[in-house]
Amino acid sequence: MWRIALPIVLGVLWTGCTVNQDLMFRTDSDYAFASLSEAKHEAYTLAPNDRLQLQLFSNNGQRLMAMTAGSAEATQGANFMQQQRAQFTYRVELDGTVELPEVGAVMLAGLTLDEAERKIEEAYEAEYVDPYAMLQVVNNRVLVFPGEAGQATVITLQNQNTTVIEVLAQAGGIRQRGRSKEIKLIRQKGDGNLVYQMDLSTVEGMEAARTIVQANDIIYVESNPQVVREVLTDVSPVAQLLTTFTSLYFTYRLLVSE
């Protein structure tokens, strides 16, 4: 009987094993993580598929300052302009350019927001007197894997100074299976990726937790392996199969002997 049952059992275990199959982004024990100190001072640079909201003023933002000062007429005009501009967003194309009204394609990919604003102002110098640009990325998102399967969250960044700890809080915190001492921040850099490791299990980890995230960052919390639990889950159907097979075998032998 066992000559028949054993290959069946091994085959089921081999093809149906799900032990720790939900773990992602594994690294070897000697993996060289990037320096976290560099990530803290790195400004976000625009990339293809970013969506931008642009506000453009003449005379170095004179009307914007009038709105800030509280002039009723200027405030009404500025509010109207903002409502109109809020309806339009501009996409960074795959070639890195943004098609802007009146000036056409402007190369913005690879620039920080400050650099992009200065370049837009230069592009509009022929059209406006002392142009003043205000640029915002409106589709900044961070992916959070909080340490448990089925709990991944996409967080939309509301400002440019959102930290790792804020993003984790918005995602509901680290799940029960997550390991706070092993958190990876994965950031795309050119054609590759930089991986930073954080330990937030102690108060000393607050410095790392205050790292500013960037659009398209991935925060991955390592999961505690649950080998025994998952092995039992995998073995349970096999055990039931063996019990059924054994019962049928002995029933068959009993009937044959009679």
Are the beta carbons of 213 and 164 closer than 8 angstroms? yes
One domain for residues 199 and 175: yes
Find the helix packing angle between 72-85 and 62-69, rounded to 10°.
120
pLDDT at 72: 47
Mean pLDDT of 90-95: 94
pLDDT, greater one: 248 or 115: 115
Q: Domain containing 37 — which CATH number? A: 3.10.560.10
Report long-range pairs for 202-211 (Cβ below 8 Å, ≥24 apart): 205/180, 206/165, 208/36, 208/164, 209/163, 209/164, 209/165, 209/168, 210/40, 210/163, 210/164, 210/165, 211/36, 211/39, 211/40, 211/163, 211/164, 211/185
Distances (CA, A) of 45 to 135, 157, 161, 216, 217: 13, 15, 14, 11, 13
- Considering the chain, what is the average pLDDT of its residues? 80
Evaluate whether 135 touches 112 at the Cβ level (below 8 Å): no
Say how many domains are in the chain: 2
User: pLDDT tens, 129-185?
Assistant: 899 999 989 888 999 999 888 889 999 988 878 899 999 999 999 998 899 999 999
Which pLDDT score, from 0 to 100, does residue 24 have?
A: 84
Identify the residue whose tokens are 């640029």.
Answer: 135
SS3 track for 208-222: HHCCECCCCCEEEEE
| Whole-number pLDDT of residue 158 | 82
Higher pLDDT, 126 or 39: 126
H-helix or E-strand containing 87?
none
- Which helix H or strand E contains 65, and what residues bound it? helix 62-69
Query: Residue 83: helix, strand or coil by DSSP?
Result: helix
Domain of residue 96, CATH code: 3.30.1950.10
19 occurs within a structural domain: no
pLDDT surpassing 60 at residue 52:
yes
Tell me the residue range of the domain where 38 lies.
Answer: 28-43+140-223
Query: Given this model, what pLDDT does residue 196 score?
Result: 94
Of 36 and 86, the one with more pLDDT: 36
Task: Report pLDDT for 86.
Answer: 46
Shared-domain flag, residues 122 and 98 = yes
Residue 167, token pair as written in the block? 């993003």
Instruction: Tell me the pTM.
Output: 0.67
Tokens at residue 245, please? 């097979």
Q: Which position has the higher pLDDT, 65 or 109?
A: 109
